[in-house]
């Protein structure tokens, strides 16, 4: 993996880790380390994720029934725990995505505001 120096990465906004995990596993089953890699990959290595907070989040989401886990073999033939999205998780992801987009739109609109447009 390519590791960018940490000061160039952006800190994750509070409460968005769950959404990112859901998105990551929605693209196909992943183990915990894979989730980390995929998020970094699709973010273009722009996001800094505290690796330690990943697992409590995964356990919390599984506890809530939005993702499910299964033990399987990894690329290098090691046993690893794979997470996938459940039906409830898919619904949650859709709802959260929509909420996020609306929020982002509103915030962007506010930030675009210029004195003339008032």
Site residues (CB under 8 A) for another protein? Answer: 1-3, 31-33, 50-53, 55-57, 59-60, 62-66, 71, 74, 76, 78-81, 88, 91-96, 99
CB of 107 to another protein, least distance (A): 19
Residue 80 CA, chain-centre distance (Å), reads: 19
CB 48 within 8 A of CB 9: yes
Minimum gap (Å) between residue 91 Cβ and another protein: 4
Rank residues 45 and 62 by Cβ distance to another protein and give the closer one: 62
């Amino acid at each position: 993996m390519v590791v960018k120096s940490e000061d160039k990465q952006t800190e994750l906004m509070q409460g968005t880790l769950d959404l990112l995990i859901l998105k990551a596993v929605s693209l196909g089953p992943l183990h915990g380390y894979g989730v980390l890699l995929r998020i970094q990959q699709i973010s273009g290595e722009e996001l800094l994720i505290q690796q330690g907070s990943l697992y409590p989040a995964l356990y919390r989401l599984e506890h809530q029934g939005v993702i499910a886990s299964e033990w399987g073999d990894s690329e290098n033939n090691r046993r690893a725990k794979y997470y996938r999205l459940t039906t409830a998780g898919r619904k949650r992801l859709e709802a959260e995505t929509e909420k996020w987009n609306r929020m982002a739109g509103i915030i962007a609109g506010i930030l675009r505001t210029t004195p003339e447009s008032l």
